[in-house]
């Protein structure tokens, strides 16, 4: 008989919940070394001893006060869905901090298993933990694990099943001594019991939360029993006067006192930690001048590496200067993307020839070789680049550098009405704008959250990087110039990110002072290959799935538009008479403003509304060659056109998926429309500036 | 008693009061920054003040750090 049980993973931020989730379920949710990575709930399944376990990864929270989106999600889940077993993850290297949420969870819930994670790091630091002692003091199973190394996960699953089956019996939920608050807790709990109010919560827990001034639960009470709510308020006020102190301070203090006591009796430091690499690194990273420089340098260096592997740059330049011109050409041609491009060219020609020999030489051959294989090749040839970029991004995210970068940039960002926290959406935006928009949930300040959601799509995502690199390679022969164009667009995008944030702060939200940063800085650690792989794999898979859909959808659509016209199938290659040309011409008056008065570019922009890869698919389809670089060349791209195209492409509108994410996060249609108009405006301004100044200076 | 933001790197202090408004004070206390707790300043120049408290490193914006009062120890 297969049963199904529901298990939730909760805990403070950054203790390794998502790592554990991935370990248990074989998933690849985002793991990174800063607090507040997970901001949605993710579900997964595993079967253990014939029991089907549904596992839910929750956002990390400092408490259940429902003060931010993460806390709200975690709390709603625990209270409303009541998992069969709650796994509370704590960090072995900082029990004195991460036990706080565990204690709160154990007060609320009786079916708990505590997973003491990162025991690998703890033993390296000379910490000895008495797990048996923890277990008897807390009254719940305590399992030492290392989610990263896969230690103890099997035992944890065993304990989970035992608790689910009621084998490990616990007498009652954890009781903390709240000192002076106790009489008031008793009083409120008694009334709650008598009146049967707030049945979702244990009365004692609800009473403590009410005394602590938990607005959320107070609102709930007000809805069901206004009189009782008034009474609770009066008890709270009385407590404050009689005790001469804020009840919430007493409550929080009592929990920490309990924790200090627990840690003192159960944790021993068997040897002193030596001044670590962490501290020496932080001497640089937290320096007022070197910090921002180092952060910028690391980001640029990452880029450089990605370029190097994918385009052969700068190896090809060096070789050329040394007089090995031929070798340089080979390096470029046989860089990863080069090889894949060649492969698809070959596939397309072979299949075409083969179909022709079978007698299919009409539109079907054209659809398959150009519409499908061509587009597929276009997108697949970028996979190595993407994989590489995600590997580097993943490594940086797991290292602990990002939170330092946030501190380093805080001072600069303040001038634009943002805190250093705004670095995160921007950095994640280099991977995917949807991820960037969702990550703004981790920002406490409402206005900062909205502003960064609206502006972070300006940062070029991986899809746009592909289009950028293609444009650059098509228009400039010199790899140095290609890189300059690409890097400048990135720098410009970061500048625009800050500038538009300032404008939105000033004119839309009418608040200009920056919110204060408040963030834990986790220790650095060597990026784990496993964590990097999770990130690279899930993102690349996502890209491929998307690519598949795009090719089927956009590939066939553009092929149809290009090969059919009012007069039917255009077998003679007379695309000027196609539907595509007609559609493109509609937008030519606008693309003319930015120096691209050509229906082919206009059509590409139209297709690109769905996703920016659509531009490449369009160019390939128009030219009838799978390699989009060759396709752009044959369309007659020039350096000036390339710059204008690159700018307009990057900004003119967020992709459909991003627009959808904006709707979910902002919830105000007006703000989404403003975002789109702002991007459109930026595209027109930047691209036409390039075109008109080139015209004025006599370059064209 | 002086604001946390006035402490030099390497100096230690003991928190006396959090004069930062209720919501923020709760958040700080939940993160372990309670009155009575010992803190050590790690870096303090132009940006946020970085401190060590309860074995963890915490970056606190300058405005908030100027309203956390400590006793130098
Ligand atoms: N040394 C060590 N590091 C670990 C272990 N488990 C996780 N980590 C690291 O801890 C960091 C945080 O891991 P996550 O799984 O993202 O933590 P989380 O609890 O999901 O964090 P939030 O989603 O922000 O709440 C990552 O850098 C992991 O590589 C472990 O067992 N040992
Ligand atoms: Mg997580």
Domains in chain A: ranges and CATH? 3-164 (3.40.50.300), 179-263 (1.10.287.1770), 558-696 (no CATH)
Closest to A601 in 3D by CA, of A327, A311, A592, A142:
A592
The answer to whether the CB of A429 is under 6 A from ligand 1 is no
DSSP notation for B23-40: HHHHHHHHTT--TT-EEE
How many other CB atoms are there within 10 angstroms of residue A682's CB atom? 21
The answer to whether the CB of A19 is under 6 A from ligand 1 is yes
Which residues of A, range 11-50, sit inside 8 Å of B by Cβ?
A: none
CB A437 within 8 A of CB A456: yes
The answer, for B28 touching chain A at a CB cutoff of 8 Å, is yes
With a cut of 0.85, is the ipTM above it? yes
DSSP tag of B12: E
CA distances from A368 to A201, A358, A626, A694 (A): 61, 14, 11, 40
Question: Which parts of chain A have pLDDT scores under 50?
Answer: none
The answer, for B32 touching chain A at a CB cutoff of 8 Å, is yes
How many other CB atoms are there within 10 angstroms of residue A165's CB atom? 13
Which ligand 1 atom is nearest residue A12's CA? 25
Ligand of minimum distance to the alpha carbon of A34:
1
* Overall domain count for chain B: 1
* B49-53 vs B38-43, strand pairing mode: antiparallel
CB A373 within 8 A of CB A343: no
Q: Is the preceding omega at residue B61 within 30 degrees of 0, hence cis?
A: no
The answer to whether the CB of A5 is under 6 A from ligand 1 is no
Report chain A residues whose CB lies below 8 A from the CB of B24. 518
- pLDDT tens track for A226-260: 999 999 999 999 999 999 988 999 999 999 999 99
The answer, for B8 touching chain A at a CB cutoff of 8 Å, is no
pLDDT (0 to 100) of residue A1: 52
DSSP notation for A322-382: TT-HHHHHHHHHTSHHHHHHHHHHHHHHHHHHHHHHTT--SHHHHIIIIIIIIHHHHHHTT
CB A629 within 8 A of CB A470: yes
- pLDDT tens track for B19-29: 998 888 999 99
Reported as type and span, the H/E element at residue A482 is helix A479-503
Nearest residue of A to residue B46 by CA position?
A288
- Output Rg (C-alpha) for chain A, integer angstroms: 29
Largest CA distance in chain B: 29
Closest to A315 in 3D by CA, of A336, A345, A297:
A336
Closest to A542 in 3D by CA, of A470, A458, A435:
A435
pLDDT (0 to 100) of residue A3: 82
DSSP tag of A523: P
**Best of A8, A15, A16 to mutate for ligand 1, by most ligand atoms within 8 A of CB?**
A16
pLDDT (0 to 100) of residue A622: 86
pLDDT (0 to 100) of residue A273: 56
- Residues A39-59, buried b or exposed e (16+ Cβ, 10 A)? bebbebebeeeebebbbbbbb
Closest to A144 in 3D by CA, of A344, B39, B21, A135:
A135
In CATH, what number is assigned to the domain containing residue B50? 2.30.30.90
- Residues A450-488, buried b or exposed e (16+ Cβ, 10 A)? bbbbbbbbbbbbbbbbbbbbbbbbbbbeebeebbebbbe
Residue among A94, A419, A521 whose CB faces B50 most closely: A521
Percent helix / strand / coil, chain B, rounded to 5: 20, 40, 35
pLDDT (0 to 100) of residue A269: 80
Q: Cβ of A97 and B32 within 8 Å?
A: yes
Containing domain of residue B27, as a range? 2-72
The answer to whether the CB of A36 is under 6 A from ligand 1 is yes
Best interface-test mutation with A: which of B10, B19, B28, B31 has the largest number of A CBs within 10 A? B31
Name the residue at shortest CA distance from atom 11 of ligand 1. Answer: A33
Ligand 2 centroid – CA A298 distance (Å): 24
- pLDDT tens track for A111-158: 999 999 999 999 888 889 999 999 999 999 999 999 999 999 999 999
The model's confidence at residue B73, banded by pLDDT at 50, 70 and 90, is: confident
CB A614 within 8 A of CB A554: yes
The answer to whether the CB of A398 is under 6 A from ligand 1 is yes
Residue matched to tokens 């940062």? A459
Ligand 2 centroid – CA A464 distance (Å): 27
Ligand 1 centroid – CA A409 distance (Å): 24
């Amino acid at each position: 008989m297969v049963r199904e049980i529901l298990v939730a993973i909760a805990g403070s931020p950054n203790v390794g919940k998502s790592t554990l989730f991935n370990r248990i379920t074989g998933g690849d949710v985002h793991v990174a070394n800063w607090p507040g990575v997970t901001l949605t709930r993710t579900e997964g399944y595993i079967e253990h001893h014939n029991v089907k376990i549904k596992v839910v990864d929750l956002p990390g929270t400092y408490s259940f006060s429902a003060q931010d989106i993460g806390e709200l999600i975690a709390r709603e889940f625990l209270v409303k869905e009541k998992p069969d077993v709650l796994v509370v993850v704590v960090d072995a290297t900082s029990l004195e901090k991460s036990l706080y949420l565990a204690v709160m969870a154990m007060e609320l819930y009786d079916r708990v298993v505590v997973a003491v994670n990162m025991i690998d790091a703890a033993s390296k630091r000379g910490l000895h933990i008495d797990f048996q002692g923890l277990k008897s003091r807390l009254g719940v199973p305590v399992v030492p694990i290392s989610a990263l190394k896969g230690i103890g996960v099997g035992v944890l699953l065993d304990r989970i099943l035992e608790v689910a089956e009621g084998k490990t019996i616990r007498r009652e939920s954890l009781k903390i001594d709240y000192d002076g608050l106790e009489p008031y807790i008793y009083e409120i709990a008694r009334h709650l019991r008598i009146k049967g109010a707030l049945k979702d919560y244990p009365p004692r827990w609800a009473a403590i939360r009410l005394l602590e001034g938990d607005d959320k639960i107070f609102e709930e009470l007000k809805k069901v029993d206004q009189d009782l709510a008034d009474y609770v308020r009066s008890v709270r006020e009385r407590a404050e006067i009689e005790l001469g102190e804020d009840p919430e301070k007493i409550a929080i203090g009592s929990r920490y006192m309990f924790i200090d006591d627990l840690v003192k009796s159960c944790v021993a430091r068997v040897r002193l930690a030596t001044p670590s690499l962490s501290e020496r690194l932080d001497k640089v990273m937290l320096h007022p001048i070197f910090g921002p420089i180092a952060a910028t340098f690391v980001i640029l260096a990452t880029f450089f590496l990605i370029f190097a592997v994918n385009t052969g740059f700068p190896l090809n330049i060096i070789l050329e200067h040394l007089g090995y011109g031929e070798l340089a050409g080979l390096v470029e041609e046989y860089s990863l993307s080069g090889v894949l491009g060649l492969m698809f060219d070959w596939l397309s020609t072979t299949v075409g020839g083969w179909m022709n020999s079978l007698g299919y030489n009409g539109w079907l051959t054209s659809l398959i070789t150009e519409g499908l294989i061509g587009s597929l090749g276009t997108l697949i040839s970028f996979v190595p680049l993407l994989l590489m970029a995600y590997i580097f991004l993943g490594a940086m995210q797991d290292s602990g550098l990002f939170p330092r970068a946030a501190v380093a940039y805080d001072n600069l960002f303040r001038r634009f009405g943002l805190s250093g926290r705004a670095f995160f959406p921007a950095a994640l935006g280099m991977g995917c704008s949807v991820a960037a928009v969702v990550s703004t949930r981790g920002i406490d300040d409402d206005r900062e959250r909205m502003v960064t959601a609206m502006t972070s799509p300006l940062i070029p995502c991986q899809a746009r990087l592909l289009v950028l690199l293609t444009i650059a390679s098509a228009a400039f022969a010199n790899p140095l110039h290609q890189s300059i164009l690409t890097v400048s667009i990135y720098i410009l995008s970061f500048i625009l990110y800050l500038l538009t944030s300032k404008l939105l702060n000033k004119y839309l939200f009418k608040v200009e002072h920056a919110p204060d940063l408040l963030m834990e800085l986790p220790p650095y650690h060597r990026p784990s290959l496993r964590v990097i792989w999770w990130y690279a794999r899930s993102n690349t898979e996502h890209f491929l799935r998307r690519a598949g859909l795009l090719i089927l959808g956009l590939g066939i659509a553009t092929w149809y538009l290009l090969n059919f016209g009012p007069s039917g199938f255009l077998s003679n290659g007379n695309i000027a008479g196609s539907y595509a040309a007609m559609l493109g011409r509609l937008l030519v008056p606008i693309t003319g403003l930015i120096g691209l008065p050509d229906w082919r570019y206009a059509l590409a922009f139209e297709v690109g509304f769905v996703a920016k890869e659509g531009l490449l698919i369009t160019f390939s389809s128009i030219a009838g060659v799978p390699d989009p670089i060759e396709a752009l060349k044959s369309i007659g791209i020039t350096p000036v056109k390339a710059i204008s195209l690159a700018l307009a492409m990057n900004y003119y509108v967020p992709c459909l998926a991003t627009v959808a994410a904006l709707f979910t996060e902002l919830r105000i249609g007006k703000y989404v429309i403003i975002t789109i108009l702002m991007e459109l405006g930026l595209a027109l301004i930047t691209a036409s500036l390039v075109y008109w100044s080139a015209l004025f200076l006599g370059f064209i | 008693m002086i604001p946390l933001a006035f402490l030099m790197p390497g100096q230690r202090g003991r928190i006396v009061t959090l004069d930062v408004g209720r919501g923020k004070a709760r958040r700080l206390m939940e993160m372990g920054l309670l009155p009575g707790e010992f803190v050590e300043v790690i870096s303090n120049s132009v940006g946020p003040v970085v401190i060590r408290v309860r074995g963890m490193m915490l970056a606190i914006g300058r405005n908030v750090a100027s309203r956390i009062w400590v006793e130098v120890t």
